[in-house]
Amino acid sequence: MMTYEELQELAASEVEKQEQHDYCVRVCLAAGCLSLYNDEIKNALEIAVEDRGLGDKVAIKGVGCMGLCAAGPLVSVEPDGVLYERVSVDDAPAIIDALGKDPVEHIHCPLDIPFFERQQKIVLENSGVVDPESIEDYLTRQGYEALMIALTEMSSAEVIDEVVRSGLRGRGGGGYPTGLKWQTVAKAMGDTKYVICNGDEGDPGAFMDRSVLESDPHRIVEGMVIAAYAVGAQKGYIYVRAEYPLAIERLKLALRQARRHGVLGDNILGTGFNFNIEIRLGAGAYVCGEETALMASIEGNRGNPRPRPPYPADHGLWGDSTLINNVETFANIAPIVRNGGDWYASIGTEGSKGTKVFALAGQIQNTGLIEVPMGITLREIVEEIGGGTPGEKAFKAVQTGGPTGGCIPKEYLDVPVDFDSLVELGSIMGSGGMIVMDETSSMLGVARYFMEFCMTESCGKCIPCRVGTAQMFRLLDKITKGQGTMTDLELLEELCDLTKYASLCGLGQSAPNPVLSTLRYFRHEYLEQIIDAPEPVA
């Protein structure tokens, strides 16, 4: 067990150790870049340093995601402030030789571009900077300072108050006010309470949570321990999908380190507070990310949703009050406690505070992970940060909210992005997927694709979703093939309405969104495919 003073000493000696090196070369070892053999580049850099006898001067550090995944493998150099893109093993000697001099030209990635300048990092502040496998490195970045403040200087009610004041809303998709959720769990009766971190992240193409877990796992641990203290929980679970082996490995290591350093387990930081965390692996069913299904899965049952109420705060894991929040939600907690709720609330819009991480994908120049303040416009994201659509093709729509989100056309690009404005546009924030589509994309095809996803991922428990998605998929398929009639279109709209309002859980309730939003903005594309469509009115 360590006291906070000892942790601070550890941090100070780590800083000292790091300052002995004149240069720090960071190599992204998150899954994206790792799949491009960045670990070999790290080896090559180490050899190059060795060959030049620079071992004392240059540190090579494996770090998490730097964001611009499209340009990976990425390597950065401090204090030069240089970023290298599309690095290959052969570039290693040149990178080392250029330390403190002009950067290597052909792989140099300028940092004064909107992709970097328009971002604001809170959740990702450590991503690509700290070594995710070192608690010492995390400590040098004010790690566990918030936990110490919470445990020693604040009552649990005060911690909750800061979260309420921050205006933070859940990042798992629903946007439920986090402070209110914490208050409810804190007030719930019963001595046993649980905290769950939802890291299921089932949206195809989404990797926000994975990236946080891989790049800065201690931040999640810290957020969960603070939450446990605030609501009075003794036991926590992190639910991660089994397809994220690297995230799981780093989390396991982080949990071990946290226990050894006294920030997790019994008598945390000598304050008498006890809290433990276990990892649970999900088998990858999309619906297991839904909170009641997720809890059933942790309990060892089939991951089926059940009706709410009762909500998890009231009747959660094994019937006890349970706080369940998303990975990104927990990632915001330490900075909120450190800097105060008012600081966080100063960022963003009236109804949506702080920043949001998006996974930018599709027909866009700069794909990757970005973090932007709420209230930024879609245009700024797509055209400035994303660099617009590649080639000559014109922008057509941006799809937000994952498989159950909606498509937003170019007329609405100037709308500020927040929970409520996206809903008004017929889409949702979801967990932060953002797919850009150019003029060659068929909106009908998009709707059909996502409906197929929902159909296969429906758990099958309730009839409107189980059969409704299957019938909607058939109708969309028929229309796509040019065999649909106006009656089919009417049936499709009726089914959208039924599935949206009669389904048991969020999957069914939001499965019609892609159809409804494309019908709203691109109805003509449906009509063009329909055999007995009325002539368009001029």
Partner 1 sequence: MAVRSRIKTLKIDGRDVSGHEDESILDIARENNIYIPTLCQLDGLSIVGACRLCLVEVQGWRKLVPACATYIEEGMEVFTNTERLQNYRRMILELLFSEGNHICAICVSNGNCELQDLAQKLGMDHVRFPNLQPVRTVDMTHERFVVDRNRCVLCARCVRVCDEIEGAHTWDIKGRGVDARVIPDLDIDWGDSPTCTSCGKCVNVCPTGALVVKGQPSGEMIKRQEFLVYLSEIREARNG
- Write out the DSSP string of 445-503: HHHHHHHHHHHHH--S-SHHHHHHHHHHHHHHHHHHTT---HHHHHHHHHHHHHHHHH-
Distance from C-alpha of 248 to C-alpha of 239, rounded to nearest angstrom: 10
- Does 174 bind ligand FMN (CB under 6 A)? Our answer is yes
Distance from C-alpha of 425 to C-alpha of 417, rounded to nearest angstrom: 10
Given the structure tokens 């945390």, which residue do they identify? 268
- Does 465 bind ligand SF4 (CB under 6 A)? Our answer is yes
Residues 305-334 within binding reach of ligand SF4 (CB under 6 A): 305
Q: Which partner in ligand SF4, partner 1, ligand FMN, none is near 171 (CB below 5 to 8 A by kind)? A: ligand FMN
Residues 305-334 within binding reach of ligand FMN (CB under 6 A): 324-326, 329
Stretch that binds ligand FMN, among 18-26, 168-176, 376-384, 439-447 (CB under 6 A): 168-176
Angstrom distances, CA of residue 181 to CA of 5, 152, 273, 313, 496: 33, 23, 21, 7, 30
Q: Which partner in partner 1, ligand SF4, ligand FMN, none is near 174 (CB below 5 to 8 A by kind)? A: ligand FMN
Per-residue mark of binding to ligand FMN, 267-306 (x: CB under 6 A): -------------------xx-xxx---------------
- Does 462 bind ligand SF4 (CB under 6 A)? Our answer is yes
First-last CA distance in the chain: 77
- Does 200 bind ligand FMN (CB under 6 A)? Our answer is yes
- Does 458 bind ligand SF4 (CB under 6 A)? Our answer is yes
Encode burial over 23-52: b for 16+ CB neighbours within 10 A, e otherwise: bbbbbbbbbbbbebebeebbebbbebbeee
Q: Which partner in ligand SF4, partner 1, ligand FMN, none is near 494 (CB below 5 to 8 A by kind)? A: partner 1
522: closest CA among 399, 419, 421? 399
- Does 461 bind ligand SF4 (CB under 6 A)? Our answer is yes
Nearest distance, CB of residue 156 and ligand FMN, angstroms: 19
Q: Which partner in ligand FMN, partner 1, ligand SF4, none is near 317 (CB below 5 to 8 A by kind)? A: none
Nearer to ligand SF4, 99 or 459 (CB): 459
Nearer to partner 1, 362 or 508 (CB): 508
Helix/strand/coil for 155: coil
Nearest distance, CB of residue 150 and ligand FMN, angstroms: 18
Question: Cβ distance 127 to 28 under 8 Å?
Answer: no
Encode burial over 487-513: b for 16+ CB neighbours within 10 A, e otherwise: ebbeebbebbebbbeebbbbbbbbbbb
Among 504, 515, 519, 530, binds ligand SF4 (CB under 6 A): 504
Distance from C-alpha of 325 to C-alpha of 329, rounded to nearest angstrom: 6
**Which residues sit at the interface with ligand FMN, rule CB under 6 A?**
170-174, 176, 198, 200-202, 286-287, 289-291, 324-326, 329, 431, 505-507
**Which residues sit at the interface with ligand SF4, rule CB under 6 A?**
287, 305, 458-462, 465-466, 503-505, 507-508
